[in-house]
Amino acid sequence: MIRVGVNGYGTIGKRVADAVAVQADMELVGVTKTSPDYGAEAALRRGYDLYVAIDDRADEFEDAGLGIAGTLDDLLDAVDVIVDCAPGGVGERNRPTYEAHDTPAIYQGGEDAAIADASFNARASGEIGDVGSLRVVSCNTTGLSRLLAPLDEAYGVEKARVTLVRRGGDPSETDRGPINDVVPDPATVPSHHGPDVNTILPDVDVDTAALKAPVTGMHTHSVNVTLGGEPTTDEVRELLRDETRLFLIPERAGIDGAGTLKDYAADIGRDRGDLWENCVWEESISVEGKDLYLFQNVHQEADVVPENVDAVRTLATDISREESTARTNEALGVGL
């Protein structure tokens, strides 16, 4: 059993905790909270041991009647791998603590690539040797890496150009925006997302431009890839259909956007309406000569979750990534 802790029980952390808890070869030892808020209560109600992320706040949990199992130091001593899911930049501040405990760590995409020995995507990363830390790349980078890797393997990617229409904030982020505009963000082009893809696929030429929109559900990518060959539209559709973490939305389903996608996910019983897969509109996939066009949506709260599970196995075992991906998919029910 791989003993796993989650430091930071927010949007990503609570989902990673749930995903770890259902893996047959993993034990979720516990999760941390910085304050005794609704998330702390929810973690306890889900049966997870709660640890206090900041030592001198233990009394606040006691006063709120929320029992804690210990401090972050106690958690780090009890686990084989810690998954840092603190806000972007806080992982860097947590790193010395993990290193002091000699605890292998996984960081998230809000951190600089330099924080870890390697950046990680289960489908697209090259060979990862014996490392002590990994960074699971951001939701957008995860979505682009999963898509570009099979295209590059099958045909070669001469150039990818992607426009990212990003959600303004997550549904629980009441302080984010914009609320009535669509803004270039960053206004400089190309954006930083392309170079981040290159931490996973160093040889793929990809330029990105990004906007922020007043929506909370998902990111939308408008993708144009100049391929090294001239496959037919049907050949590309079949190639992408074979990828377990890509969902080709059939035209007959009547799914026209993030609202219907999330409705579908909830209707089929996905916890929190989560979509772990890239959602690619099948009818949008079209090839004109060497140019491929498509639209995909990425559920920012969810697509990195199975990747974190595979990152845990990569750090703690010598199980192949194919085997890990299969185990994760099976335990979670990834694949639509």
Residues belonging to the active site: 139
Q: Which of 52, 223, 304, 309 binds ligand NAD (CB under 6 A)?
A: 304
Q: Which of 4, 5, 6, 9 binds ligand NAD (CB under 6 A)?
A: 9
**How many Å apart are CA 282 and CA 294, to the nearest integer?**
8
Q: Binding-site residue total for ligand NAD (CB under 6 A)?
A: 27
**How many Å apart are CA 33 and CA 21, to the nearest integer?**
17
Residue 110 binding ligand NAD, by CB under 6 A: yes
Location of structure tokens 């335990």: 331
β-pairing verdict for 50-52 and 70-71: parallel
Residue 194 binding ligand NAD, by CB under 6 A: no
192 is in an annotated binding site: no
Q: Which two tokens stand for residue 165?
A: 């229409």
**How many Å apart are CA 284 and CA 268, to the nearest integer?**
24
Residue 170 binding ligand NAD, by CB under 6 A: yes
Residues 6+ apart with CB under 8 A from 202: 126
- Map residues 133-152 to x or -, x wherever contact with ligand NAD holds by CB under 6 A: -----xx-------------
Residue 300 binding ligand NAD, by CB under 6 A: yes
Of 104-112, 150-158, 179-187, 220-228, the window that binds ligand NAD (rule: CB under 6 A) is 104-112
Of 102-110, 124-132, 267-275, 314-322, the window that binds ligand NAD (rule: CB under 6 A) is 102-110
**How many Å apart are CA 51 and CA 24, to the nearest integer?**
23
Residue 71 binding ligand NAD, by CB under 6 A: no
Residue nearest to ligand NAD (CB): 10
**How many Å apart are CA 63 and CA 59, to the nearest integer?**
6
The beta strands (E) that lie in the chain are given as 2-7, 26-33, 50-52, 70-71, 81-84, 105-107, 118-120, 133-136, 157-167, 183-184, 206-213, 219-227, 246-249, 278-281, 286-288, 291-298
Angle at 272 between CA 269 and CA 273, to 5 degrees: 60
Q: Which of 4, 5, 11, 160 binds ligand NAD (CB under 6 A)?
A: 11
Q: Which of 90, 223, 249, 334 binds ligand NAD (CB under 6 A)?
A: 90
Residues 6+ apart with CB under 8 A from 45: none
Q: Which is nearer to ligand NAD, 237 or 299 (CB)?
A: 299
Q: Which is nearer to ligand NAD, 55 or 318 (CB)?
A: 55
**How many Å apart are CA 135 and CA 172, to the nearest integer?**
24
Closest approach, Cβ 210 to ligand NAD, in A, equals 14
Q: Which is nearer to ligand NAD, 94 or 292 (CB)?
A: 94
**Whether residue 190 has a cis bond before it, omega within 30° of 0:** yes
Give which of 123, 161, 151, 20 is closest to 79, Cα–Cα: 20
Of 3-11, 127-135, 232-240, 322-330, the window that binds ligand NAD (rule: CB under 6 A) is 3-11
Q: Which of 75, 86, 164, 206 binds ligand NAD (CB under 6 A)?
A: 86
Binding residues for NAD(+): 11-12, 110, 167, 300
Residues lying near ligand NAD in the complex (CB under 6 A) are found at 7-13, 32, 34, 39, 53, 85-88, 90, 94, 108-111, 138-139, 170, 300-301, 304
Binding residues for D-glyceraldehyde 3-phosphate: 138-140, 193-194
